[in-house]
A and B are shown apart, each in its own frame.
Chain A
Amino acid sequence: MSDAHARPGPPLWLLCELTYRCPLHCVFCYNPVDFSRTGAELTTAEWLRVLTEARALGAVQLGLSGGEPLVRDDVETIVAAAHDLGFYINLITSGVGLNEERLQALKRAGLDNIQLSFQDSTRQMNDFLSSTRTFELKSKVAALIKKYEYPMVLNVVLHRLNIDHVEEILAMAKTMEADYVELANTQYYGWAFKNREQLLPSRAQLARAEAVTQRFRAENGERMRIFFVVPDYFERRPKACMNGLGSIFLTITPDGTALPCHAARMLPGLSFPNVKKASVEHIWVESSGFKHFRGDAWMKEPCRSCPEKAKDFGGCRCQAYLLTGDAANADPVCDLSPHHHLVTETVARAERAAAQSAAAEVIILDPLYSTHDQDENDTRAMAALCQSLLRLRDASRAALIVVHHVRKSITRYEIGSAFRGSSALHAVGDSYMLLTRPSPQLSTVELRFQFRYAAAQPPRLLQLDPQTLWFSSTGQLPAAETPRRKVEKADVTQALAGLGPQARYSQLREQIMDRAECSKRTAQMAISVACQQGWIVQDNGQYHLPL
């Protein structure tokens, strides 16, 4: 059993949360939900003392984060001092406040790396998730970071609302010439814990995102390193959180509280010292808050006797506390934990919520031919298509609306049978609506109905308002409702006369349809009758009146 009282190794990773202030308001933020109650921020001089003392203990990787660290105007001073001390300095920023002038100053001060956060690959989603309009600004900042030849880590926190955009996110990162991409699935602490049922992706979403990432790696090689951090709720073994509390990570919060992990303040019964009152060495080596979960003497079963305890250190103390109420329990992500069901039930609840929120009530296939590559006249192919439509309906539990074309000429009383192609298409529907334009002159359309299990409704007439492109029902009887008159000889001859000395067949037909308000078919019959009767003469494809 490793000893909590042996002198610990150095705090290799020092995370300085310079401020909780941030212009963004992200739904997945791990910041404390009550951060407005924390004390005053450390002064520049106090931060410099923290850096000096931590460096003397062996701290070497420095993260400057927040909140948004650039809200403070002494970041350049802090970076310069850290650089002189020999830290490798990572600035973890939203990009807000990072202009060219500050980038130059930070470069001169010795900043090594910039981690820029994006919320999504699209402006809309990025801005929605951060509750700000920052996408354009972040894109500009990314270009500036590369202009000043910093390595760039692009960090995107993934969750249900953006995990389907991983392909676009990776493409964006490639365009921006990121050196590293962190696709970090949300970890559920702080604000994210409160929002977790809205944020947890489904298993299917997660699998898709991982597959997309693998494909991107295969196609693009290693120039851009991609880290895909799986949300641990979907795992069966916990993450080796912080490599064990008090082992290599030291976080200093804006007010100077020292924590063995940035979320540890929530752990009850522990007191965490403040750098205003104690040296970093005392805090790291001696303080009870850092010693409590060091080693494995604190462990309960099943961790205590578990052969894997040296690998994952029992997982995350904060997660154990948040989910089971006891920080010394096994992280319930582990399927050996008696509380593992708390995790699986949460995932299942989130899955159902996601499925329900995504469940369409109506699916529109418009037009049908865009959904298949079969011959519409082939009854066998269309019957198979109809079966797949029924399966789609049953699987989605949604109403399907299929938009299909009708044949060139249909009779007055056809509705469902007016479909173009195989009659199999007519067999599958429950309701049919046929949209026709009874008269080319009128902006009125007629909607006819046919129902498999109910009597047909009378036709409805809709008037198109050319200004608003909005249909409203019209009380007027359209031409189609009036008894049709016969196409007379005069209709044909006057139509032809109006077209000049001679006209082509199609011109004449159109003209007759206009004059007599008749169908194409009627006009065609009228032309052939007129030719037979000698009222008009056809000559070399052209029609004229008899001489």
Chain B
Amino acid sequence: MNTIAATAKPAIGRGMRLQWEPAQKAHVLLYPEGMIKLNGSAGEIMKRCDGVRTLSEITADLERSFATTGLGDDVAAFVAMALQKKWLEMRS
């Protein structure tokens, strides 16, 4: 797996849409003729991937929001997986 630069700016993949669905009480990722229901942590990471914030800023924000530390590796691993699945893409 490629390591992702801390300055990379992940964004929701082209043609995909992330939104909160009250009926499913979950974030879902919508794409042509399909949908992925995200678990809580995936939803929290994805909703911060706006193509503006860097990976390190996203991690810092998550650690602040959930009053914890050491999320860096988990966030990077999820983002790498999501990039491969094209849920996310990188903005320079």
Q: Could you list which residues of chain A lie within 8 angstroms of chain B, going by C-beta atoms?
A: 10, 12, 57-58, 60-61, 63, 86, 88, 90, 112-113, 115, 150-151, 153, 179-180, 222
B30 touches A61 (CB 8 A): yes
A153 touches B33 (CB 8 A): yes
Determine which of B19, B21, B32 lies in contact with A151 in the assembled complex, contact meaning CB atoms within 8 Å: B32
B32 touches A112 (CB 8 A): yes
A113 touches B21 (CB 8 A): no
A113 touches B24 (CB 8 A): no
B30 touches A112 (CB 8 A): yes
Question: Which residues from chain B contact A12 at a C-beta distance below 8 Å?
Answer: 35
Q: A151-B14, A179-B15 are in contact. Are A63 and B33 (CB under 8 A)?
A: yes
Question: Which residues from chain B contact A179 at a C-beta distance below 8 Å?
Answer: 15, 32
Determine which of B14, B19, B33, B35 lies in contact with A86 in the assembled complex, contact meaning CB atoms within 8 Å: B19
17 contacts between A and B (CB under 8 A): A10-B24, A58-B21, A58-B24, A60-B28, A60-B30, A61-B30, A61-B34, A88-B17, A88-B31, A90-B32, A90-B33, A113-B33, A115-B32, A115-B33, A153-B33, A179-B32, A180-B32
Q: How far is the CA of A58 from the CA of B37 in the complex (A)?
A: 13
Question: Which residues from chain B contact A151 at a C-beta distance below 8 Å?
Answer: 14-15, 31-32
Question: Which residues from chain B contact A57 at a C-beta distance below 8 Å?
Answer: 23
Find residues 28-64 in chain B having any chain A CB closer than 8 Å to their own CB: 28, 30-35
Question: Which residues from chain A contact B22 at a C-beta distance below 8 Å?
Answer: 58
Find residues 50-90 in chain B having any chain A CB closer than 8 Å to their own CB: 86
Interface size on B, as a range, is: 10 to 19
A113 touches B32 (CB 8 A): yes
Q: How far is the CA of A90 from the CA of B23 in the complex (A)?
A: 20
Nearest-CB residue, chain B, relative to A182: B33
- Of B14, B30, B32, chain A has the most CB atoms within 10 Å of the CB of B32
Mask of B1-37 contacts with A, CB within 8 angstroms, 1/0: 0000000000000110101011110001011111100
* Shortest CB distance A69–B (Å): 15
Question: Which residues from chain B contact A63 at a C-beta distance below 8 Å?
Answer: 33
B21 touches A60 (CB 8 A): yes
The 5 closest A-B CB pairs, nearest first, are A58-B23, A151-B15, A88-B30, A113-B32, A10-B23
* Shortest CB distance B24–A (Å): 7
Nearest-CB residue, chain B, relative to A248: B35
Determine which of B19, B32, B86 lies in contact with A153 in the assembled complex, contact meaning CB atoms within 8 Å: B32
Question: Which residues from chain B contact A113 at a C-beta distance below 8 Å?
Answer: 15, 31-33
Q: How far is the CA of A507 from the CA of B22 in the complex (A)?
A: 95
* Shortest CB distance A65–B (Å): 11
Question: Which residues from chain A contact B35 at a C-beta distance below 8 Å?
Answer: 12, 60-61, 88
Nearest-CB residue, chain A, relative to B19: A86
Q: How far is the CA of A61 from the CA of B23 in the complex (A)?
A: 13
Nearest-CB residue, chain B, relative to A88: B30
Q: How far is the CA of A418 from the CA of B27 in the complex (A)?
A: 81
Question: Which residues from chain A contact B17 at a C-beta distance below 8 Å?
Answer: 88, 112
Question: Which residues from chain B contact A153 at a C-beta distance below 8 Å?
Answer: 32-33
- Knowing that A112-B17, A151-B15, A180-B33 are A-B contacts, what are 7 other residue pairs whose CB atoms are under 8 Å apart, sorted by A's residue number? A10-B24, A60-B21, A88-B30, A115-B32, A151-B14, A179-B15, A179-B32
Question: Which residues from chain B contact A86 at a C-beta distance below 8 Å?
Answer: 19
* Shortest CB distance A157–B (Å): 15
Q: How far is the CA of A96 from the CA of B23 in the complex (A)?
A: 36
Nearest-CB residue, chain B, relative to A61: B35
Q: How far is the CA of A453 from the CA of B83 in the complex (A)?
A: 73
Q: How far is the CA of A15 from the CA of B15 in the complex (A)?
A: 20
Question: Which residues from chain B contact A222 at a C-beta distance below 8 Å?
Answer: 86
Nearest-CB residue, chain B, relative to A57: B23
Nearest-CB residue, chain B, relative to A227: B33
Nearest-CB residue, chain B, relative to A152: B32
Question: Which residues from chain A contact B34 at a C-beta distance below 8 Å?
Answer: 61
Nearest-CB residue, chain A, relative to B22: A58
* Shortest CB distance A124–B (Å): 29
Question: Which residues from chain A contact B33 at a C-beta distance below 8 Å?
Answer: 61, 63, 90, 113, 115, 153, 180
Nearest-CB residue, chain B, relative to A150: B15
Question: Which residues from chain B contact A150 at a C-beta distance below 8 Å?
Answer: 15
Q: How far is the CA of A58 from the CA of B86 in the complex (A)?
A: 25
Question: Which residues from chain A contact B86 at a C-beta distance below 8 Å?
Answer: 222
* Shortest CB distance B78–A (Å): 19
* Shortest CB distance B21–A (Å): 6
Nearest-CB residue, chain A, relative to B85: A222
* Shortest CB distance B28–A (Å): 7
Question: Which residues from chain B contact A58 at a C-beta distance below 8 Å?
Answer: 21-24
Nearest-CB residue, chain A, relative to B30: A88
Question: Which residues from chain B contact A10 at a C-beta distance below 8 Å?
Answer: 23-24
Q: How far is the CA of A112 from the CA of B18 in the complex (A)?
A: 13
- Of A58, A113, A115, chain B has the most CB atoms within 10 Å of the CB of A113
Nearest-CB residue, chain B, relative to A87: B30
Q: How far is the CA of A57 from the CA of B21 in the complex (A)?
A: 11
Q: How far is the CA of A10 from the CA of B37 in the complex (A)?
A: 13
* Shortest CB distance A337–B (Å): 30
Question: Which residues from chain B contact A61 at a C-beta distance below 8 Å?
Answer: 30, 33-35
Question: Which residues from chain A contact B32 at a C-beta distance below 8 Å?
Answer: 90, 112-113, 115, 151, 153, 179-180
Nearest-CB residue, chain A, relative to B15: A151
Q: How far is the CA of A60 from the CA of B32 in the complex (A)?
A: 12
Question: Which residues from chain A contact B21 at a C-beta distance below 8 Å?
Answer: 58, 60
